[in-house]
Amino acid sequence: MTQEAFADHCGFTRTYMSRIETGAANPNLDAIKVLADALCVSLSDLFADL
């Protein structure tokens, strides 16, 4: 899946997704939940082993 397709799936702009990936943006917990749901993982799994 392309970054643009994943961003669309999450309801984010491609530029926001790019900023998240590069560390230029810090998503809030609601945005992180959207990402976890799109990846079909729980929030706890997303943060496991950090």
Transcribe 1-50 into DSSP letters.
--HHHHHHHHT--HHHHHHHHHTSS---HHHHHHHHHHTT--HHHHHTT-
Q: Amino acid identity of 22?
A: T
Q: What is the dihedral of CA 38, 14, 22, 48, to 10 degrees?
A: 0
The model's pTM is 0.86
What's the CA gap between 30 and 16, in Å, rounded?
14
pLDDT of residue 11: 97
pLDDT of residue 50: 66
**pLDDT digit of tens for each residue in the chain (50 aa)?**
999 999 999 999 999 999 999 999 999 999 999 999 999 999 999 888 86
Backbone Cα Rg of the chain? 11
